Each structure stands twice: as structure tokens, then as C-alpha cells.
């Protein structure tokens, strides 16, 4: 179980470098939604994983602590820019991942962790392919593929920043555009995979699952 949960926890954290659009509200924002702790607090995911009442309570408590830590991490990098900010955020997220791993391993079962892993991958999409070392290793990505995928991801992140900055407070419209951009980016990234890798990637995603988010 521990190895699976460690993989889960790595997903979504690097994505928070996108800036103020990340981890807003109870749903955790577009980027925070790929984080295991945030997903575990979602009612539709809890139902899919068949969490009992005690697990649900622990999941809510963990999610709240994770949201607070995400906010602290963003505030800690406010004065930084570019690569320096990205590196610092990655460092802070690794620390958050380790703490979350310890907490989640105390109440999640093996089959639940496996399904959560799949759901987190589905939520992350291209981000998982670009940022998660475990995914890259399992898919046997070449250095050239990694570079191409990173380039595509960086282009997406820049476009997302632009969308957010140009939204003029229209969060719904911005989220729609970002969602469309994520799908386009995923298609581009998957286009860099060979047939064997695409098959393995599909197997890693498992059965499609639609997370139902309720925004406060």
C-alpha cells in the first residue's frame, strides 16, 4: 500500500506553481483537485472508494490541513519568480507529500489507494506525464519524450496564467477555457507516446471516473 500511496501523493502538487488560480475554495481549485487529500474529501470520490464514516472524517481533516498548507506554500513563494519559484514550490510540495503520505497511510486500504491513484491520474492528465517520476518510469519515457512533454506543459502553464489574468474576475469562463486547454494539452502529450506507452497509460488510468465538484 505505501508505494501506491506515495505515487498518489506526488500527483497534483507540482501543478500548484501555476499561481493564484490554484487550490481556491473547498474543491481545491483546478490544480489542487489532482491532489490525493483534496480528492479524498470529495463526496463522489468517497463513494467510489467506499470509504466508511471513520475514513470520511479522517479524509476531511486531512484535506483541511492540506488546503492550509497549500496556502502557506503559495505565500512562501510570493516574492519569487520563474525557475526559482518553481524549484521552491517543488521543495515545499515534497515536504507536504511526505507528511500527507504518513497521514493517509493510516486509514486508506490497498484497493482504495489504487483506485485513488487512478482517479488522481485522470484529474492530472498531462501534468502527471510531465511531473510524476513514477509515471515516466512505468511508461519508459525517453529523455527526448520527457523534454517534449515538459515543453508542452510549460506552454500550457503560460497559457493558463494568461487566461487567469485576462478573466477579469469571470472565474467560470476562465475555468472552462482552462479545462479545454488541459484536454488539448493532454492530446498533444499523448501524441508523443508510442503505441505501447499509450496502452500502458490507459491501463494506469483505469475506468473513467467523473469527479463531481461542489464549489462553495
pLDDT tens digits along 64-77: 999 898 888 888 88
Number of domains in the chain: 2
| Alpha-carbon gap, residue 174 to 176, rounded angstroms | 5
In a domain, 33, yes or no: yes
Q: How many CB atoms lie under 10 A from the CB of residue 46?
A: 18
* In a shared domain, residues 102 and 61: yes
**Are 41 and 59 in contact, with CB atoms under 8 Å apart?**
yes
Query: Is residue 178 very low, low, confident or very high in pLDDT (cuts 50, 70, 90)?
Result: confident
Q: Which residues are CB-neighbours of 165 under 8 A, at least 6 positions away?
A: none
* In a shared domain, residues 102 and 181: no
- Only one residue has cell 492528465, namely 125
What is the model's pTM?
0.77
* In a shared domain, residues 97 and 154: no
pLDDT for res 105: 83
Share of the chain above pLDDT 70, in %: 83
Task: Report the greatest alpha carbon distance in the chain.
Answer: 47
pLDDT for res 10: 44
In a domain, 114, yes or no: no
* In a shared domain, residues 104 and 168: no
* In a shared domain, residues 44 and 138: no
In a domain, 216, yes or no: no
In a domain, 174, yes or no: yes
In a domain, 177, yes or no: yes
Whether the per-residue pLDDT at 153 is higher than 60: the answer is yes
* In a shared domain, residues 135 and 105: no
Question: What b/e sequence results for 24-37 when a residue is b if at least 16 CB atoms lie within 10 Å of its CB, and e otherwise?
Answer: beebbbbbbbbbbb
| Alpha-carbon gap, residue 210 to 216, rounded angstroms | 19
* In a shared domain, residues 1 and 42: yes
Average pLDDT, the chain: 82
Which residue has better confidence, 111 or 33? 111
Q: What is the pLDDT of residues 181-195, one digit of tens each?
A: 989 999 999 999 999
Long-range contacts of 44-48 (CB under 8 A, 24+ apart): 44/210, 44/211, 44/212, 45/116, 45/119, 45/211, 48/115, 48/119, 48/209
* In a shared domain, residues 89 and 175: no
Whether the per-residue pLDDT at 12 is higher than 50: the answer is no
* In a shared domain, residues 10 and 100: yes
| Alpha-carbon gap, residue 142 to 124, rounded angstroms | 21
Q: What is the pLDDT of residues 82-139, one digit of tens each?
A: 788 878 887 887 788 778 778 888 899 989 988 988 998 998 889 889 888 889 999 9
User: Angle, nearest 10°, between helix axes 110-124 and 195-205?
Assistant: 120
pLDDT for res 7: 46
pLDDT for res 184: 94
Q: What is the domain range of residue 195?
A: 125-208
Amino acid at each position: 500500500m505505501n508505494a501506491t500511496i506515495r505515487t498518489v501523493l506526488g500527483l497534483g502538487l507540482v501543478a500548484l506553481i501555476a499561481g493564484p488560480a490554484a487550490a481556491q475554495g473547498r474543491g481545491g481549485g483546478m490544480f489542487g483537485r489532482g491532489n490525493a487529500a483534496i480528492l479524498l474529501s470529495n463526496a463522489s470520490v468517497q463513494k467510489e472508494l467506499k470509504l466508511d464514516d471513520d475514513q470520511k472524517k479522517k479524509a476531511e481533516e486531512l484535506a483541511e490541513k492540506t488546503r492550509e498548507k497549500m496556502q502557506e506554500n503559495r505565500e512562501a513563494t510570493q516574492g519569487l519568480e520563474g525557475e526559482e519559484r518553481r524549484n521552491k514550490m517543488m521543495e515545499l510540495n515534497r515536504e507536504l507529500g511526505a507528511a500527507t503520505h504518513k497521514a493517509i497511510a493510516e486509514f486508506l486500504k490497498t484497493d482504495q489507494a489504487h483506485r485513488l491513484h487512478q482517479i488522481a491520474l485522470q484529474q492530472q492528465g498531462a501534468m502527471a506525464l510531465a511531473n510524476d517520476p513514477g509515471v515516466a518510469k512505468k511508461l519508459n519515457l525517453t529523455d527526448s519524450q520527457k523534454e517534449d512533454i515538459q515543453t508542452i506543459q510549460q506552454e500550457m502553464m503560460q497559457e493558463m496564467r494568461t487566461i487567469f489574468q485576462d478573466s477579469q474576475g469571470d472565474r467560470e469562463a476562465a475555468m472552462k477555457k482552462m479545462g479545454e486547454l488541459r484536454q488539448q494539452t493532454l492530446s498533444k502529450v499523448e501524441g508523443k507516446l508510442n503505441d505501447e506507452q499509450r496502452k500502458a497509460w490507459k491501463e494506469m488510468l483505469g475506468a473513467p471516473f467523473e469527479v463531481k465538484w461542489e464549489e462553495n
